[in-house]
Amino acid sequence: MEKLKFGKSSGFFDTFERRPGAIKKNMHYCPGCGHGILHKLLAEALEEMDIQDQTVLIAPVGCSVFTYYYFDCGGISVPHGRAPAVGSGIARANPDSFVISYQGDGDLGAIGFNNFIQAANRGENMTVLFVNNAIYGMTGGQMAPTTLPGQKTMTSPQGRDPLTEGYPLKVCETVAALDSPVYVERCALTSYKNIMQAKKALRKGLENLKNRKGFSLIEFLSGCPINLKMTTDEADHFIEERMMKYFPIGKFKDIADDRPAISKHLGIFEPAAVKRILYPNRQSSSKSKDFRNKSEIFTKERRIKCAGFGGQGILSLGMMIANMARLRNFNVTWLPSYGPEMRGGTANCSVVLSRDDVGSPIVDKDTNLLIAMNQPSMDKFLPELKKNGVLLYDSSSIEVPNCSEDKKVFGINAAEIAEDLGDHRVANSVILGALSFILRDYFLEGDDKADFDKTFEEAIIDCFANKKGIVDLNLKAFYKGKAAVETCF
């Protein structure tokens, strides 16, 4: 069917069925409002560029809140000022969509400016149509960030005073100063000539969107005769004589031709491929799922506390022990000192291993094994060591503790050994070496003795995966610790 000369663009719905009430043919805008002009330009562009299917037009809060009543394309109504954030989500999640953020001066310039400027600065594939009419419309004529100096509004009844309310926000100038945006132009919806230029700018912005060039901003100086308390002609005059002096129209930036298209995430979802990436590789020497170490020490839940200064590798020490437990099919928890205890640079962690489900992962009492690497930790946690508990401490900095007879106490000069190896940070692996010796000689039975030497090594390798130099140094420290403790006891 041939199109009527004065018929609506098919970028619009034929009738506005989404609009509640009896009026289904007209828009809700006031006479002389710039939104009507821009809507028409946009509808024609959507139709002529054949992008209605892919377009998502974001309706802001403000007078243009109802764009989805009118435009025959995807639509979403969003919280005040958040259109560029919502648009970023859409553009990232569905890179095949063309996101148009349609915003007014309150939505964009006031409540949502950070979301706007950050989306611009990220170079989101999005075109923002910014309607600047120097006043709040929908809420009834209050001052906008773009209200002119001296302009009277409901909330600047004496006229905007730049000394107390600041100067009008120059949005295009601000965005053009950023490196990411590809296109910035300010137009005016006044004369035929200006409207034709606005139409051209709008096309350019949508072309950029289609070509995935990134962020485009087109500002439209627009009339709001009702709230400005003017006739349509007076409003046009206001724009051309007063607004355009402060907000000059023209192109501020156009570098789209120099920009490559933004790539798209395709996503890997095929289950076997996902598993390959997310499931870790089983250590070649690790045991089958049913393997259980038989030594009696493992029949009960074992609660371990590692404590010292921050930077001594306390947390990784605990993590190596936890890894060891995992490699031998224990249920294990590792909990770092966390919250208030972090103050003062001390660090500790709780490790619990069990054949059953682990209850409380917080080792605050009933500690079976305490590894103390500085004096304050020793003082703090020794009282929590259970009867018959094991204490392992760094004798380079800690005095010989006063323990009841039931405790098994082992001191090793871990920090000094680590210094000799050239890196004080490996004191934790020296301690681990000592622990492996102590376990083997005092607590493990049968095959577990040989097995556990291996487990410790695997845990170190596991813990520092992909960092060969660090693995080697820590293994060296581990053997040193083992040898040192052997000669001590």
Partner 1 sequence: MESTNQVLLKGNEAAIYGALLAGCECFFGYPITPASEIAHAAANLFPALDRPFLQAESEIAAINMVFGASASGRRAMTASSGLGISLKQEAVSFIATCELPAVIIDIMRGGPGLGNIGPEQSDYNQVVKGGGHGSYKCIVLAPNSAQEMCDMTYEAFDLADRYRTVVYVLTDGVIGQMLESLKLPEPLPRRPIPEWAIDGGVNKRDNYIASIYMDHDDLEAVNIRLQEKYALIEKEQQQAESYYTDDAELVIVCYGIISRVAKTAVAKLRDKGLKVGMLRPQKLFPFPKSHLNDLVNKECMKSFIAIEMSNGQMIDDVKLAIECKKPVHFYNRMGGNVPTVKEIIEKCEKILKEQQ
Q: Of residues 300-359, which lie at the interface with partner 1 (CB under 8 A)? A: 319, 322-323, 325-326, 330-336, 338-340, 357-359
Q: What is the DSSP letter of 426?
A: G
User: Rounded to the nearest whole angstrom, what is the least distance from the CB of residue 397 to partner 1 in the complex?
Assistant: 27
Token readout for 191 is 């004369």
Element spanning 448, H or E: helix 447-463
Nearer to partner 1, 172 or 325 (CB): 325
Of 3, 14, 18, 31, the residue at the interface with partner 1 (CB under 8 A) is 18
Nearer to partner 1, 83 or 129 (CB): 83
Q: Is residue 139 near partner 1 by the rule CB under 8 A? A: no
Chain positions 94 to 123 lying near partner 1, rule: CB under 8 A, are 94, 96-98, 114-115, 118
Pairing of strands 55-59, 302-309: unpaired
Closest Cα partner for 259 from 212, 326, 304?
212
Residues 430 and 414: their CA atoms lie apart, in Å, by 6
Our CA angle for 269, 275, 277, nearest 5°, is 90
Chain positions 169 to 228 lying near partner 1, rule: CB under 8 A, are none
Residues 71 and 39: their CA atoms lie apart, in Å, by 8
Of 10, 30, 89, 123, the residue at the interface with partner 1 (CB under 8 A) is 89
Q: What is the DSSP letter of 398?
A: S
Q: Is residue 90 near partner 1 by the rule CB under 8 A? A: yes
Nearer to partner 1, 326 or 454 (CB): 326
Residue with tokens 């060891």: 324
Residue with tokens 């083997």: 440
Closest Cα partner for 219 from 178, 251, 191, 182?
251
Sequence letter at residue 482 = K
Q: Is residue 76 near partner 1 by the rule CB under 8 A? A: yes
Chain positions 24 to 63 lying near partner 1, rule: CB under 8 A, are 52-56, 59
Nearer to partner 1, 221 or 319 (CB): 319
Cβ atoms within 10 A of the Cβ of 292, count?
11
Per the CB < 8 A criterion, the answer to whether 314 and 345 are in contact is no
User: Rounded to the nearest whole angstrom, what is the least distance from the CB of residue 456 to partner 1 in the complex?
Assistant: 16
User: Rounded to the nearest whole angstrom, what is the least distance from the CB of residue 234 to partner 1 in the complex?
Assistant: 30
Of 33, 41, 63, 85, the residue at the interface with partner 1 (CB under 8 A) is 85
Residue with tokens 């000059």: 248
What 3-state class would DSSP assign to 282?
Answer: coil
Element spanning 276, H or E: helix 271-278
Give bridge partners of residue 71 from the DSSP assignment.
12
Per the CB < 8 A criterion, the answer to whether 74 and 102 are in contact is no
Of 3, 200, 229, 282, the residue at the interface with partner 1 (CB under 8 A) is 282
Q: How many residues at the interface with partner 1, by CB under 8 A?
A: 78
Per CB under 8 A, which region of 85-93, 236-244, 254-262, 304-312 contacts partner 1? 85-93
User: Rounded to the nearest whole angstrom, what is the least distance from the CB of residue 175 to partner 1 in the complex?
Assistant: 15
Nearer to partner 1, 167 or 338 (CB): 338
Of 274, 403, 450, 488, the residue at the interface with partner 1 (CB under 8 A) is 274
Per CB under 8 A, which region of 164-172, 188-196, 271-279, 443-451 contacts partner 1? 271-279
Residues 95 and 432: their CA atoms lie apart, in Å, by 50
| Binding mask of the shown chain, residues 218 to 257, with x at each position contacting partner 1 by CB under 8 A | ----------------------------------------
Of 229, 276, 467, 468, the residue at the interface with partner 1 (CB under 8 A) is 276
Per the CB < 8 A criterion, the answer to whether 236 and 221 are in contact is no
Q: Is residue 93 near partner 1 by the rule CB under 8 A? A: yes
Residues 82 and 25: their CA atoms lie apart, in Å, by 29
Of 180, 197, 360, 375, the residue at the interface with partner 1 (CB under 8 A) is 360
User: Rounded to the nearest whole angstrom, what is the least distance from the CB of residue 387 to partner 1 in the complex?
Assistant: 16
Per the CB < 8 A criterion, the answer to whether 436 and 452 are in contact is yes
Our CA angle for 194, 195, 196, nearest 5°, is 90
User: Rounded to the nearest whole angstrom, what is the least distance from the CB of residue 161 to partner 1 in the complex?
Assistant: 30
User: Rounded to the nearest whole angstrom, what is the least distance from the CB of residue 417 to partner 1 in the complex?
Assistant: 27
Of 27, 41, 63, 86, the residue at the interface with partner 1 (CB under 8 A) is 86
Nearer to partner 1, 7 or 20 (CB): 20
Element spanning 116, H or E: helix 113-122
Token readout for 460 is 């170190």
User: Rounded to the nearest whole angstrom, what is the least distance from the CB of residue 331 to partner 1 in the complex?
Assistant: 6
Nearer to partner 1, 74 or 141 (CB): 74
Nearer to partner 1, 332 or 398 (CB): 332
Q: Is residue 261 near partner 1 by the rule CB under 8 A? A: no
User: Rounded to the nearest whole angstrom, what is the least distance from the CB of residue 122 to partner 1 in the complex?
Assistant: 8
Per the CB < 8 A criterion, the answer to whether 219 and 127 are in contact is no
Per the CB < 8 A criterion, the answer to whether 131 and 119 are in contact is no
User: Rounded to the nearest whole angstrom, what is the least distance from the CB of residue 332 to partner 1 in the complex?
Assistant: 5
